[in-house]
Copies of this chain bind each other. A is one copy, B any other.
Amino acid sequence: MIIVFEPAATAEQVQHVYDRLQEWGFTPVLQEGAQASIAITGDSSSLKAETLEAFDGVQKAVRLTQPYKLVAREFKPEGTIIERDGVKIGGKHFAVLAGPCSVETEEQYLATARAVKKSGAKVLRACIYKPRTSPYDFQGVAEKGLPWLKKAKDETGLPLCTEVMDERAIEKTLAHVDFYQVGARNMQNYDLLRALGKTDKPIVLKRGLSATVKELLLAAEYIMAYGNHDVILCERGIRTYETATRFTLDVGAVPVLRQLTHLPIIVDPSHPAGKRSLVPALSKAGLAVGSDGLIIETHPDPERAWSDAAQQLTFDQFDQLMKELRPIAGAVGRTMD
Contact = CB atoms under 8 A, between A and B. Distances in A.
A143 to B, nearest CB: 15
A239 interface: yes
Contacts of A272: 252
A284 B278 contact: no
Q: Which of A69, A253, A278, A288 has the most CB of B within 10 A?
A: A288
Interface in A250-296: 250-256, 258-259, 272-273, 277-278, 281-282, 284-290
Given A131-B188, A186-B189, A212 B244 contact: yes
A282 B252 contact: yes
27 contacts: A29-B136, A69-B136, A131-B190, A135-B225, A136-B225, A166-B167, A186-B189, A189-B189, A210-B239, A212-B242, A212-B243, A213-B244, A237-B252, A238-B242, A239-B241, A244-B252, A244-B253, A245-B250, A245-B256, A252-B282, A256-B278, A281-B289, A284-B290, A285-B285, A285-B288, A288-B288, A331-B331
Interface of A: 29, 31, 39, 41, 67-69, 131-137, 165-167, 185-186, 188-191, 208-210, 212-215, 218, 221-222, 225-226, 237-245, 248-256, 258-259, 272-273, 277-278, 281-282, 284-290, 324, 327-328, 330-332
